[in-house]
Structure 1
């Protein structure tokens, strides 16, 4: 996930940057804490349905010297997303802000900054992509899948899935045929979704190519384009996103680009509850599945160390370790399982 500082009503907040949401979203608790004025009901279209919320107004919001006055936010239930992120999300900056200020992200250097729109002498892009999409629609780019014709896809920098697509589109294009499949969980404003997980042999944007790309296919897809790409696809890049100029500049570290895309090799999802993790989903055919783990099993330690609020640390995704790694899981029922991580879809 991509976070950047925002000053809201003179309070500095770490905000999630999300080109996938049309309106900036504020946590209702933060809105009340800042004394923001509620304006009434609102709604937004998610992957699978429309979600209802409430709007608020703030006098000022500032990003690196750019001041937005009388700014209107939406507020939706984000508890499930926060559980997945393992951190609070007080503010999610959407396209209504990103159209007014550019954002420069150096994924390799782990740096981000807001920048004023206009030419940049210090950035020479390897590729400048035109962004499509009208009005409130997602910014869109062209993606080629396994040598087929290019497809228009949505740019969703708030998503931690490299490629998400409509299950109907995947079936129509024969993308499920002859591939190992499993399931994976995604969490958004619509709640928890269980999706079809599979792997694309390669995808490309311009002359940049990725191999063995993890995909989640979503049933009952409602978005304007059948494919969406998330921030993990760009981890080898320095990018400048300018919705105002309708461009995205991309400069690649070719060595990092050639390395495998991080992916899950364990097969469990769950919710953290203080000193334990309650498993909510086990991917069929995964190492966790074959080891006998199932939904509602409770983990109490990982690699011999008790689970706590700080362990495993946020961002330490145990299942994303290298293939062949062994993870030792201790369960509340007394079982201890040693599981070797492998690619299972």
Structure 2
């Protein structure tokens, strides 16, 4: 029931200090050891996770092109003995916030030691819980600007350097004033700039202005959802986009979210569920990317429950119930706690293995037990 919610970590983390040093004129570095593929987890079924070494610690790290700075957790900062070295302003998807930054740290990815990185320190517990993936490090554009990165989602691997991809579409990239890299897409019959965000767990975010101008926010065809980012929970309007043209491919029936507030320059954000349908070479330092479409064109998963939940309170705590959804018709409300699904208790094993239950086919039935002893039968159905 992990993703019985449409609850993904956004990771639109934009460092607001010293952006100039990360902009034009930056030439990607060639690592000493090339063509060495490293294992990579995630893609269509979760965030992109790779192993890195920080000092003598071997850690899982998330790859995130939507983070203009590398981010470490307060826990990791304490383990490394890193004292704050000043403050940094971060621009999230919906709001800004201020946080501590570190002295330069050294991070190795496979055989490649990255140049010293000034990291941002954040409490990552809420985002880890939202995606059921513990992590203490987000590798942002500090790496993507300095190196050519190949991502092979088909075979679950990545590399720094190498001889690139053969075939595919080459896209010109534009760095926006908030630091994110964007390219042109066709959405709802209109051309718009879309930021490339490997850290976003939704296929598409769309600004309210773009959605209104192109008739995407009709209440009769939309619902609501919540996601969690660096600035905390945010309520969205959710819907489905008829078509999107990107990198030589046309996608149909794509779930999207429209936040109540929009804090980015590009009006669209392309997230991991869409980007992982390509293998790619990213060369942010030279302002281009090559994307090669993978075989197949399966439908995008979408929530059919209406339950937005996080682990807590002895089970799955409901933080939002989608408008006009099956959950709303059961009179489940914010603050309710689900303690069992089909007789299975919500424990660590359940949280790590039972994912995507809310995206099961229409007509799927779950029997829920709540902390207050109520029982409810939830039948999945499309509601937006």
Which TM-score applies when normalising by structure 2? 0.83
CA distance in 2, matches of 1:106, 1:325: 33
Asked if the contact 1:101/1:114 (under 8 Å) is kept, the reply is: no
In structure 2, what is the equivalent of residue 145 of structure 1? 187
Structure 1 residue 139 displacement after superposition: 0.9
State the Cα deviation string for residues 164-207 of structure 1 (Å, max 9, x = none): 01112211222223751110101111100001111111111143
Indicate yes or no: 2:108 matched with 1:67: no
Tell me the equivalent position of 2:310: 271
User: 2:163 matched to which residue of 1?
Assistant: 119
Match of 2:147 in 1: 101
One of 328, 334, 341 as aligned partner of 2:373: 334
Contact 2:94 2:261 in 1 (8 A): yes
Q: Provide TM-score, normalisation by structure 1.
A: 0.92
Runs (5+) with no aligned partner, structure 2: 1-46
Structure 1 segments, 4+ long, off by >3 Å, are none
- 1:45 and 1:222 in contact (8 A); partners too: yes
Deviation at 1:96, TM superposition (A): 1.6
Residue 254 of structure 1: how far off its partner (Å) = 3.5
Does the 8 A contact of 1:86 with 1:314 survive in 2? no
More strand by share: 1
Q: Tell me the distance in 2 between the aligned counterparts of 1:102 and 1:290.
A: 50
Distance 1:137 1:324 in 2: 44
Distance 1:173 1:300, change over 3 A: same
> 1:56 is matched with which residue?
102
Change in CA separation of 1:153 and 1:333 when aligned onto 2, cut-off 3 Å: same
CA displacement at 1:58 relative to structure 2: 4.0
Match of 1:88 among 134, 153, 162: 134
How large is the RMSD of aligned CA atoms in angstroms?
1.9
- Alpha-carbon shift at residue 136 of structure 1 (Å): 6.0
Q: Using the TM superposition, give the Cα deviation of residue 314 of structure 1 relative to its aligned residue in structure 2, in angstroms.
A: 5.5
- Provide the aligned length of Structure 1 versus Structure 2: 338
Q: 3-state SS of the aligned residue for 1:161? A: coil
What residue is the counterpart of 1:199 in the other structure? 240
Residue 42 (structure 2) aligns with: none
- Cα drift, residue 69 of structure 1: 4.1
| Partners of 1:203 and 1:209 within 8 A in 2 | yes
1:321 to 345, 360, 364: 360
Tell me if the contact between 1:104 and 1:115 (Cα under 8 Å) persists in the aligned partners. yes
Cα distance in 2, alignment partners of residues 162 and 243 from structure 1: 21
Structure 1: how far apart are the matches of 2:177 and 2:56? 30
Task: Specify the alignment match of 2:12 in structure 1.
Answer: none
Between the two structures, name the one with larger relative contact order (CA 8 Å, sep ≥ 6). Answer: 2
